[in-house]
Structure 1
């Protein structure tokens, strides 16, 4: 039985999948290669928790900095030892299918980056069912604007998101900064194992707490926006790196590749990277390591652009 629906996606191969196969494709824990699904999720949570505790114990930190009036509208800012007026910033949005995850267990990359002089911001947002997709996109937009307003002398703001967080980061390419009264000094985005067309997710169990309609999915799909009305880069020097793990599912690979291609058609300075021998979770938790290939890509990009 094929999944029903119209529009979306160049070729839209997901439409020919059964509901069972679509569920499988959009369940990242089913694709881990070195451990079972439950063990992978436990390890992911454990490494994130330990990395956050380490970062909070060893550095200069501002916790629960408000970027809005909502209870969940907070961010943690981790500074390098040498604080100056002109730091580069990396702003991170956690994953969890827009319904789980927390800034309090997501400081994977903080220690390796602050050690090299990068300030790292970990953003909280209202996950489902409390938060809708529209609200989450609005919140992360305001979080980025807040970083710019608080640190106007920054040497560049780079956004990084994993999975659902990569979707939220990608939506910042479409943000209307004028209404917020500030244009962030965006220099790059690192989109890690993301989803950029939300329509297939509507047909999986992940939509139960989200209650995404077709209209919601299209309004909040950067892929759809770039295909229907390609956004032009405000800063031609802003780099977008679309990154996927070798052991991510074929649908995650397709989504990443097609979003990269849409960016290129829209004249963005985009690149595509498949990281060898990592799955959906390892690709992020390895950011705790200073010599990890993605850690080095991030640092090289930041300091090239700073």
Structure 2
């Protein structure tokens, strides 16, 4: 675990040239074993195959609507020995910079987790430019409220997001659930994997164009700026938040994860920092297909402390 360091008072650490900013926020340019295009191809193929296998070998509910809007559906993969509805629920939000990716190619962890008695929920949401960040965050909150109501006897919701999905998962720490959603999800832990939590640097990259993101939008949708106040929520600090990053993520992605962890610590959250060795931005998630992968084991140990 990285030790917290002092904040840079009055300094924007991401300030750099436009060219360097593009490089820092282009994860495929930091891969270590394959070129950018091959990495993207492998990432997609592994996700598609893992999802196909899960649908072929696990009892599932596919394309379940949690709302009436475009893309507002989710898939549920049930444990092998499914009895009643009292399982832990691992809810996953895919990445893709809020403009690509799909639940239909993101069930990486369904095999290993369902084999251990965990139900896996993979959430779809509307992508940019059809949706704004505010709309995506609202959809994710809708999906979690739906899951809690659909499976009220669950043994805990373990919310996980990768990359843009990690951002959306972190936004759920800011929700006023009972007031705005009429339900208090049974959150037991958050897994935030290789995410972006301060969106201000993104405004100055090509990623921003499909999002139509203004500086005001970026600040409103940056959990980094709001989490200390959110720790006053009754379920907040008691819920573990695991901030996870890959050794070969870009320096900016690693900085963002460290600084989110530090903010959580200052706010009194029960936060931890996991630096997964010898993986890049894509490998960190696709290796969840493997039962013995270190992150798979961290997830299982969090869900089942006796594991």
Q: What TM-score comes out, normalization by structure 2 length?
A: 0.94
**RMSD across aligned C-alpha pairs, in angstroms?**
1.5
**Aligned residue runs from structure 1 range 27-46, under 5 A:** 27-46=26-45
Change (3 A) 1:87 1:11: same
Task: Give the match's secondary structure for 2:210.
Answer: coil
Q: Distance in 1 between matches of 2:306 and 2:230?
A: 24
Q: Tell me the distance in 2 between the aligned counterparts of 1:305 and 1:181.
A: 33
Q: Give the structure 2 partner of residue 241 of structure 1.
A: 242
Q: In structure 2, how many angstroms separate the alpha carbons of the residues matched to 1:274 and 1:133?
A: 27
CA distance in 2 between counterparts of 1:76 and 1:230 reads: 29
Q: Distance in 2 between matches of 1:173 and 1:154?
A: 19
Alpha-carbon distance in 2 for matches of 1:106, 1:298: 17
Quote the residue 1:3 is aligned against.
none
Query: What CA distance in whole angstroms lies between the structure 2 residues aligned with 1:144 and 1:123?
Result: 9
Residues 17-47 of structure 1 show CA distances to partners (whole Å, capped at 9, x for unaligned) of 1000000000000000001000000000000
Superposition pairs of residues 268-287 of structure 1, within 5 angstroms: 268-287=269-288
Question: Could you tell me which residue of structure 2 aligns to residue 183 of structure 1?
Answer: 184
Q: 1:95 maps to what in 2? A: 95
Question: How far off is 1:180 after superposition?
Answer: 1.1
In the TM superposition, what is the alpha-carbon distance from 1:93 to its structure 2 partner? Answer: 0.2
- Return the alpha-carbon distance in structure 2 between the equivalents of residues 62 and 9 of structure 1: 49
Residue 255 (structure 2) aligns with = 254
Aligned partner of 1:67 in structure 2 is: 66
Q: Is the 8 A contact 1:226 1:262 kept in 2?
A: yes
Q: CA deviation at 1:168?
A: 0.3
- 1:170-225 CA distances to partner (integer Å, 9 max, x unpaired)? 00000111221100000000000000000100000101101110111111110011
Q: Could you say which residue in structure 2 is the equivalent of 1:290?
A: 291
How far has the Cα of 1:304 moved from its partner? 2.6
Tell me what 1:4 maps to.
Answer: none
Q: Deviations over 1:220-257 (max 9, x none)?
A: 11001125x35335324311000000000000000000
C-alpha displacement of 1:86: 1.1
- Distance in 2 separating the partners of 1:100 and 1:50: 18
Q: Any idea what SS the aligned residue of 2:99 has?
A: coil
Match of 1:82 in 2: 81
Provide the secondary structure at the position in 2 that maps to 1:49. Answer: helix
How many angstroms does 1:13 deviate by?
Answer: 1.2
Q: Post-superposition shift, 1:305?
A: 9.5
SS of equivalent to 1:13: coil
CA contact (8 A) 1:144 1:184 kept: yes
Alignment match, 1:125: 125
Is this contact kept in 2: 1:9–1:224, CA < 8 A?
no
Counterparts in 2 of 1:117 and 1:9: CA distance versus 1, 3 Å = farther
- Alpha-carbon separation, structure 1, partners of 2:39 and 2:52: 20
Query: What runs of 5+ residues in structure 1 fail to find an aligned partner?
Result: 1-7
The 1:305–1:93 alpha-carbon spacing in structure 2 relative to 1, beyond 3 Å, is farther
* Deviation of 1:79 (Å): 0.2
TM normalised by structure 1 equals 0.94
